[in-house]
Copies of this chain bind each other. A is one copy, B any other.
Amino acid sequence: MPSNALDRLTALLADDLQSVNRTIVARMESPVALIPQLAGYIVASGGKRVRPLLTLAAARLCGHKGTRHIGLAAAVEFIHTATLLHDDVVDESDLRRGQASANELFGNQPSVLVGDFLFARAFQLMVEDGSLAVLKTLSDASAVIAEGEVLQLSASNDIGTSEDTYLRVVRAKTAELFAAACAVGGLVADAPEDQTAALFDYGAQFGMAFQLVDDVLDYSARQARLGKTIGDDFREGKITAPVLIAVARGTAEERRFWYRTLQEQRQEDGDLDQAIELIRRHGAREEIVARARDYGNAALAALERLPGHPLRSALHDVVAFCIDRDF
């Protein structure tokens, strides 16, 4: 019996997901050996395939009987992977999910170029499928994601970033691909327009909740005790919701701490612990989880516009699971 809602969703789509994984492996092939080496490293490095799962679930929930959703779910994962590769280069990350990042292991140069390759491959998969509506959905999402990345870069290390800017970045960087991944499932199933719109809304709201919680988890002492890597955002000077709240509610001395560690990027031993303590002290976690719950509820409301189906229930439960993670 799968232990949580994400595992249950995965189990319901086990065969489809296996096909997606086979497609991913087959389509990252290239006569240029470095491409499957590097792409294989990042694709295999423990992601949960949330985005392709959304495409698969949406397609089946809307009654798709064929296999078109397989290639498109792989395209969604390729776009996501390309984004991760470029993200890590831009952030100069040396770790991703506690493992050496691809740019750390292979260098920045191949990470940039293999990201480009995967992005092109994603569009080849969409062209093979042949739906202009799908191509529109995912090319629009790709442009918005890139805009969000540039916006995030413009705001990085600036502890004066507005909450509005932060939310715009989350919407562009995360919510947009969640929304597109869901909508593609509806498109491939030829679902009525209002259902595809409901799927898009579900993904967009779920994506917001997902990212807000993710940003909190990066400062979670409990996650650290569970052996998860935390503090990535802190080390990179990313300005996320817990920081914005702690800065807004902090004393002048605390603001100097945030200024030194994130804006000036001068970090010392113990600074991460101090950051975690400040975030705890100002109740940032509770505040953000409450907001994530609002987004989650909006996602569930969008789900109500879709027909009853075991996968609809699974998509319902996944939202709560992602919000009530181990803090």
Contact = CB atoms under 8 A, between A and B. Distances in A.
A123 B135 contact: yes
Interface in A19-37: 30-35
B132 A136 contact: no
A233 interface: no
A154 B107 CA distance: 12
A109 B140 contact: no
A139 B113 contact: no
Interface stretch (A114-122, A267-275, A285-293): A114-122
Interface string A76-120: 000000100010011000000000000000001110111111011
Contact of A130 (B126, B130, B132): B132
A224 interface: no
Given A119-B142, A123-B139, 6 more contacts: A89-B112, A108-B108, A109-B153, A116-B142, A124-B136, A127-B135
17 contacts: A86-B113, A86-B116, A89-B109, A89-B112, A90-B112, A90-B113, A113-B146, A113-B149, A114-B146, A116-B142, A116-B145, A117-B143, A120-B139, A124-B139, A124-B140, A127-B135, A132-B132
A50 interface: no
A254 interface: no
Nearest to A149: B113
Interface residue SS majority, chain A: helix
A139 B276 CA distance: 45
B123 A153 contact: no
A306 interface: no
Given A120-B139, A143-B121, A114 B150 contact: yes
Interface of A: 30-35, 82, 86, 89-90, 108-110, 112-117, 119-121, 123-124, 126-127, 130, 132, 135-136, 139-140, 142-143, 145-147, 149-151, 153-154
B117 A147 contact: yes
A120 B143 contact: yes
Contacts of A140: 124
Given A35-B147, A150-B34, A142 B113 contact: no
A146 B90 contact: no
